Structure 1
């Protein structure tokens, strides 16, 4: 897991580099709503899991492990959402869904942070609260993504704000740089999905309501 090369005096892990390239590809694929989003995310998660274990960043490591399961769920969900050759229909979350995501993020962050604080053998590289927030927030974002909710882009923006300093503090320099690129891509993705939803709603309000009811 420690295999890599030296650049500008810093040791760059191959798992960190290739895994983040896959992660960037996931954002690009998600903007286009292609099913390739999920297998690519699975590969990237496995590579970043190895990088995080080497850097003693349990929040990121558990996040990537969780991503493996969520990638399978997202793949199934998007496949169902595109049945009968229909395009995947994106939508904003309902009030209930947003409250659930917010509550799950808050409660989950507190619980995981407490867990990290007591598991000293994990050798956490930085604040257990930041690790916990990234873990839980990323899980919430990926779940919202699997439901084709426009809100998932916003959750990712908030995770990125914590991800940059954590990655740099942990020596994952590629991850730190990629988090910054992520932020820009996430803004673009959010704009694209929101515009698509508004255009569809303007063209057919009944269809938009039917999609929410079906979920």
Structure 2
């Protein structure tokens, strides 16, 4: 059996429950959950693992294009996988650079609050992005454009906040989950809806963990010193 046949078999593999649940939706969300757990632990590996999940879920949410059992196009859900990919590369580089420059440090970031300036930036970006995405997704015929636009907006801001090490990013994720669960249940993407509920619990735990680290940081590891030739 050739590679193309194996790939086609994987893309079409599904559980015969209801209209059918694609294995790539289950596996993609599994990678997303692994990324969330590693993110809570501030591990650099959270980013590449999350990217794999993004690629799989991109094909899932364009149901009309890739002929999923739901046959619905959630352009916001699909589009956020592309933004995830781009912001995840930024976060991957940023966290890797932090870990590399701090000798003996396994974590990729030191949690901190965004501050009023950072929160103002997030609020302004949230309004601008939601309006732009709402009209764009409506024009594309996305199912549930208002909720889809918020999920896309919040996901971008949360991922950016995670890359910056802002504690608030966990709260943004919780707000995304609160909107995403009913949207995905209504659209028939049941594994993703269930994962959103689980994500919500991890986000709450992640917020508490990062909040404690921000309040009581570990002794700072000194950056590696570069010896200059004399």
1:113 and 2:134 are equivalent in the alignment: yes
Deviation at 1:108, TM superposition (A): 0.8
Give me the whole-angstrom Cα distance separating, in 1, the residues matched to 2:200 and 2:110: 23
**Which of the residues 56, 76, 81 maps onto 1:64?**
81
**TM-score scaled by structure 2?**
0.82
Q: What is the number of residues matched between the two proteins?
A: 199
Name the one with the larger helix percent. Answer: 1
Stretches of structure 2 lacking an aligned partner (at least 5 in a row)? 1-7, 64-71, 221-230
Name the counterpart of 2:56.
47
The question of whether the paired residues in 2 share the 8 Å contact of 1:4 and 1:11 is answered with no
Name the counterpart of 2:142.
124
**Which of the residues 16, 21, 25 maps onto 2:30?**
21
1:8-57, Cα deviation, whole Å (9 max, x unpaired) = 43410122111100011111000111110000010000001010112310
Name the counterpart of 1:169.
186
The question of whether the paired residues in 2 share the 8 Å contact of 1:105 and 1:136 is answered with yes
Name the counterpart of 2:165.
148
Give me the whole-angstrom Cα distance separating, in 2, the residues matched to 1:9 and 1:130: 24
1:130-179, Cα deviation, whole Å (9 max, x unpaired) = 11111011000000000011110000000000110111122211000000
**TM-score scaled by structure 1?**
0.87
Name the counterpart of 1:211.
none
State the Cα RMSD in Å: 1.7
Residues 14 and 8 (structure 1 numbering): CA distance in 2 closer, same or farther, change over 3 Å?
closer
Stretches of structure 1 lacking an aligned partner (at least 5 in a row)? 208-215
The question of whether the paired residues in 2 share the 8 Å contact of 1:137 and 1:155 is answered with yes
**Which of the residues 109, 119, 124 maps onto 1:103?**
124
Give me the whole-angstrom Cα distance separating, in 2, the residues matched to 1:102 and 1:93: 12
Larger radius of gyration: 2
